[in-house]
Amino acid sequence: MADKSKHHGMNVEALRRSATGFALDRDDLDDDPIVQFEDWFRHACETVPSDPNAMIVSTVDSQNRPSSRTVLLKSFDEHGFVFYTNYESKKAAQIEANPWVSLLFFWSEAARQVKIRGRAEKIPAAESLKYFLSRPRGSQIGAWVSAQSSVISSRALLEEKFQEIKRKFRDKEVPLPSFWGGYRVVPDQVEFWQGRTNRLHDRFEYTKQDDGSWAIERLAP
């Protein structure tokens, strides 16, 4: 069998770097994972050159096959983590069928990763509207143009539709599409991963308890 890791002269097996991140001990952690996330996220915003709010959202389809894609975190608080999408997309259909999702942030500059598992729920339309009105006009029009995840014949079709919608709303406020809005992922488990030397990474997992508190456990790397 051919060694596919060396396909076209690429030695993928040799791609590695030693993680030399900060130490992470239990005493360093806040009792609340949202507060802990805010601390790490603030650090990422100061050190990651682009898109520190990029996260991978993983869902499963009706046959329990996983599907992942990168979206942008747009807000978070004690209630959960919010992103926006087309409610008629594949991801939205999968969320409606099975609302349990996973979020993943990876900030390589700090050798840090945060994994969040929880239940996704639609946010109120008023909240979606407030964010939608803050978007650049081109992005607002783009939300109307794309029937996300559907098969299209060419990019030209998108460009033509964009101009059509642009003309339709000329000199008008672009309204919020009924098929577009946000999801809030309400976490019940959050893991913080800190890369360390010799692959002896630090991992701590928060699990939501019935009384609303969080249990914190160290995991083997």
Antiparallel, parallel or unpaired: β 202-208 and 214-219:
antiparallel
Question: What pTM did the predictor assign?
Answer: 0.89
Domain 19-124+180-219: give its CATH code.
2.30.110.10
E runs forming strands in the chain: 54-60, 66-72, 75-77, 80-86, 100-107, 112-122, 180-194, 202-208, 214-219
Neighbours of 24 (CB within 10 A): 20
Half-sphere exposure of 44 (CA within 13 A, CB side): 20
- List 117, 199, 203, 218, catalytic entry: 199
- 10-residue mean pLDDT series, the chain (221 residues): 58 70 89 98 94 98 95 98 97 97 96 97 98 97 89 91 95 96 98 92 97 97 94
- The reply to whether 199 belongs to the active site is yes
Residue 150 has a pLDDT of 85
Residue 146 has a pLDDT of 85
Neighbours of 175 (CB within 10 A): 12
